[in-house]
Structure 1
Amino acid sequence: MKHNYGYFLMIFFMIVLTACKKTVDLEPLPENKILEYKVSNLKDTVMYASINQLNNTITVYVPVFYGLSLIDPEIKLSQGATLTEVPMPVGIYEQDKKYTVKAADGSTKTYTLKIIVMNPVKLIASWPATYIVNGEMISYPVNSTSFSGNFNAFGTGLLQIDLIHKKTGKLIKVNDAEVVWRPGAVDQTAFFTPGPTIDTGVYQMNLKYYDQVVTMKEPLHIVHRQPDLLMPSKNVKQGESISFPAFQSVFLGLKSVKVKLNDAVSYDLPILGFTPLEMTLKVPDDFPVGVYDYTASFTFEFENWKPVSKLGSLTVSAK
């Protein structure tokens, strides 16, 4: 019996010794990770993203009062790893931005960026009451249009505006609205300018502010106003062209331009062309040479609008 016990004991120690000599090397972890994602375009502070290495996501939580329209990241990678593209600023509304990390051994890992804006209040926006006519907000092309809201931030690029023409369904996107602080006010004011070629008519206005979307209670009614223009001083030679810019309006159906000198003869200035924002005219070859210091009386005629009369400073020299 003792003999058998010794035999089994010897076998046990041989197994233990054999097991101690045998080692199993673990597979090295791939060095293809994003270790740190930092938002660097904040004044006097930095903000770090939350990185989930299991589902390969990067989540940036942005307090609304920072007023960020984009984030500019600084990215720290595993040793020896590189990004497959140069990291660029990311718009605050851009979701599912991808970053692919390539390790020295050629393995890759792709992350998805999530941007979450933390806005603690429900968005409320309204038009200034003085511009509401018959239940509509009246606005004009190339004229600044304003509304107020509890945006709790200021800057350009924070708002996204969709204008939907109620008759045609045409969609116009406005992404350059500016939000400004109003001293002493509990809310902020936003400004945007309808373009010179916008169709007139009634629009539904949808306003997106980070993760919230609201529809303005009253629709936006775009109408044209009497064409008007600026009259800067002009120096020109006979036979040359001169141009004048529109002022808080657009040019519509320009028909003719005449100028009277010192209450004497009236001269036609042929129209070479015009856009909504500028007209180009020709000075006739026989136009009298002289200096007409705000004694040149211009008359501009537009289809379906009353004529516009202006005094201008005009200096004409020989060709």
Structure 2
Amino acid sequence: MQKEIFKHKLLVFNYALAALLLMLTYSCKKKYPDFPYNEIEKFSIKDVSGTELNAAIQEKNIIIYWPPFQDQPDSIQPQIAVSDRAIITPKSGSKIPFKEGFSYEVKAQNGSINTYTLKIANNQPLPYFEVNELVINLNRSMSLFGDYLIPDATQTSVYLVDKNKKETLLTINSISNNAVNVNIPLVLSQDTSHYHIKVITGKRNLTKGPYYIDRPLLALGTVTLPADVLTVKRGQSIVFKHSATPGTLKYYAQTGRYATVAITSRITRSVPMQITDTEITLTIPQDFPLGATYGSISFLVEDKAKGTWQRRTSPFTVVQ
């Protein structure tokens, strides 16, 4: 009897054990849903000095505030943390171009995808400047004084903008963070006229004006007489060479041109002259005093002070 009871208990135990093993097997095979998370949780890079910069993640944008006045690199290697069991492409630490519009793809375990776009915030201060010239002339330099200019001619540029919005890039002579000196060319789209001045520095630009740009100043430079011209007869023409910038004279009147020749320190004679971009021609009048030596001549192009040049030339003597 006891033997039968033992067999019965053993049979019950075996059934219970089998049921338990079946339950364990079933529970092990139970499938849990894949994770749906596909977010960027942290995105950081290092600036030029090695300081860590943490990007702001807003509405699927990765916004980086790059320090002002630091040169931006062409590429970066971000360190990125994403949601649990998600995969990001390109992966964290990969070198990418440092430019707006570059995108990352974050794929969740369940296959859902989020796309993030890189944006670089303009953290550069707005520049300002003033023109440090009472009169701006063609073919001269012009200085601008202000602040927050990037002292690099590859990142800062100055333009003249005419009434038709045509821009002329100016050559930079010198530049600092608070001043820039540029050349105004001899010929512009509108020549003497009103222009706006536009400064681009880094990602910032500022336009001011209009400013009037006047005609070039007269500057003959050197005036020379050929070395073999020592004596000149009455009625004879003599030719002086000058080194004025070609094209300057077109801005001045064609009438009223003459030369004032010094006979003594107190006596002068006015002599008609013809002038080109390279030469000045004088014709000695028939009544010029003989035997006098002349070496100081004032060349007057217009009846205005800015049209007068006075140069001491090689001496010459007038003979019959």
TM interval, shorter chain, is: 0.3 to 0.5
Provide the TM-score with structure 1 as the length reference. 0.46
TM-score, normalising length from structure 2? Answer: 0.46
